[in-house]
Structure 1
Amino acid sequence: MVNWTEMDQRIKTWIMEAGSSIRESFKHSLSIHTKSNPNDLVTNIDKETERFFIANIRKVYPGHRILGEEGQGDDLASLKGIVWIIDPIDGTTNFIHQQRHFAISIGVYENGVGRLGYIYDVAHDELYYAERGKGAYMNGVRLPSLTEVSVEKALIALNATWLVKNRYFDERKLVNLAVQVRGTRSYGSAALELAYVAAGRLDGYLSMRLSPWDFAAGKLLVEEAGGCVTNLFGEDLNMIKINSVFAGAPILHGRILDEFLLKD
């Protein structure tokens, strides 16, 4: 039997410790490498932070499995059992260039269902977290249920890259949406943008291509704040594969799907 309360406290302690180490790294030079392309960056801090979490999880919860961005966890074909989905630094480019607008993201899933989710804005010391059925919080304060707004009054996160021709989605639909909403923003961290939706700082978030570690924690946060998280076709996310992602309050989410994303 899992003691989720005890696990929650352990994870928060580990996140605070990791965050402190990351802030300390601001004083030192980084070792920077590329992964799949010149803009897909990873630093020694990403790898060290992931190793820190994996070592703690292996020690305390040896039967649990781990899906980590930097590939130091397990090779998973399913989310059977308890699986930790970890992004040690979401927004690595921001971390390198700005030392802000990046986050630690951890989602804990049980048989494919999100149970615990954490997004820690390290530079601003803001910890967003949620436990299934118990609501979403930021630094101990419960986040209110999402407020519905019209499309015309919505502030959505949408990277300008997706508004030009791309191979994932019809960019004309996204352009039509972008010119109808009140405004668009892009912070360069999927985890933070999902946390901002949960906190009501954004009304919606859209991305064409995210990995599970980008959205595992944020999905639970948004849902616990009363929102919906699907792909851009209104379908459930596949938690072990790359997905498009669309998050927002239920009515707004439905309107954008019907009037923009699914409309011929």
Structure 2
Amino acid sequence: MENWTEIDRRVRLWIEEAGKAIRRSFKHSLSIQTKSNPNDLVTNIDKETERFFISNVRQTFPGHLILGEEGQGDHLSSLNGIVWIIDPIDGTMNFVHQQRHFAISIGVYEDGVGRLGYVYDVTHDELYCAERGKGAYMNGVQLPKLSSVPIEKALIAVNATWLVKNAYFDERKLVELATKVRGVRSYGSAALEMAYVASGRLDSYLTMRLSPWDFAAGKILIEEVGGVVSNLSGEPLDMLNRNSVFASSPGLHETILHHFLLEK
């Protein structure tokens, strides 16, 4: 049987250490590379931070598996056992250009079930964390359960690039939704935007395509405070592949799903 208290203690220590190293890097120049396209960036700090977490996990919990964004983890075909899903810097473009609005994201899953989730806003020193069945917290303060919000009072986050014509979704539905809600935001970090939904800073977050390391931790946070996370068709997320992601407070999730997202 796993000692989840010890795992939690270790993760917090590693996040604190990694956060300090990232903040120190603000004073130095970065080595920046592109991945799939010119807007998909990876820095030496991303790679160093992922290596730091992977090395610690392998040494401390040798039986655990790792799914990491920068490709230094394991090649997985299932989530059997205990799997760490790590994004060392979610929001790399923000990190490069602004040195804010990015986060460390870590989700720890057991046989496909989220057990521990962490989203750390490095610049603002805000740690969102959750353990399954024990609530979610931000810097030690428990987050209240989410309540339903009327759509006209909802503040939602949408990746702005999806509000123009794309091959994944009928953009007219999102434009219609944007005219109904109180406001629309885009922060450029899926992990932070999902943490904001969990904490009530946002009421909903929608995006067309995310990888597991982008949403693994945020999903645990949101579900622990009673929120709902699905794809844009209302189906469960595939934790090993890319998905559309729709995270929301209860009630509002159903309203948006049935009135704006599903085919009419």
Per the TM superposition, whether the score is higher than 0.5 is: yes
Determine if contact 2:147/2:250 at 8 Å carries over to the other structure.
no
8 Å Cα contact 2:237-2:243 kept in structure 1: yes
- How far apart are the structure 1 equivalents of 2:77 and 2:226? 30
1:155-234 pair list within 5 angstroms: 155-234=155-234
The superposition leaves residues 5-37 of structure 1 with CA deviations (integer Å, 9 ceiling, x where unpaired) of 111010000000000000000010000000000
Q: Deviations over 1:43-67 (max 9, x none)?
A: 0000000000000000011111000
CA-to-aligned-CA distance 1:169-212 (integer Å, 9 cap, x gap): 11111111011100100000000000000000000000000000
CA RMSD of aligned residues (A): 0.5
After superposing on structure 2, the runs of 4+ consecutive aligned residues of structure 1 that deviate more than 2 Å are: none
Kindly state the Cα deviation for residue 148 of structure 1 after the two structures are TM-superposed. Answer: 1.5
Give 1:53's aligned residue.
Answer: 53
Amino acid in structure 2 at the alignment position of 1:209:
R
State whether structure 2 residue 147 is matched by structure 1 residue 147: yes
Report deviation, 1:147.
Answer: 2.4
Per the alignment, residue 116 of structure 2 pairs with 116
Alignment match, 1:78:
78
Q: Distance in 2 between matches of 1:172 and 1:106?
A: 34
1:248 alignment counterpart: 248
Mapped contact 1:129–1:137 kept (Cα < 8 A): yes
Question: Structure 1-normalised TM-score?
Answer: 0.99
* Counterpart Cα distance in 1 of 2:159 and 2:81: 35
Structure 2 gaps of 5+ residues are: none
The TM-score normalised by the length of structure 2 is 0.99
Give the percent of matched residue pairs that are identical in Structure 1 and Structure 2: 77
Aligned residue-pair number? 264
- 1:69–1:213: 8 Å Cα contact kept in structure 2? yes
Q: 1:123 offset after TM fit, Å?
A: 0.0
Q: Is the 8 A contact 1:151 1:252 kept in 2?
A: yes
C-alpha displacement of 1:233: 0.3
Question: CA offset at residue 89 of structure 1?
Answer: 0.1
* Cross-structure match for 2:34: 34
* Structure 1 residue 263 displacement after superposition: 3.9
Determine the C-alpha separation between the residues in 2 that align with 1:114 and 1:160: 29
CA separation in 1, counterparts of 2:124 and 2:217?
A: 18
**Residue 137, structure 1, aligned to residue 111, structure 2:** no
Q: Which residue of 1 aligns with 2:97?
A: 97
1 CA distance for matches of 2:99 and 2:147? Answer: 31
Structure 1 unmatched runs, 5+? none
Q: In 2, distance between residues paired with 1:122 and 1:212?
A: 20
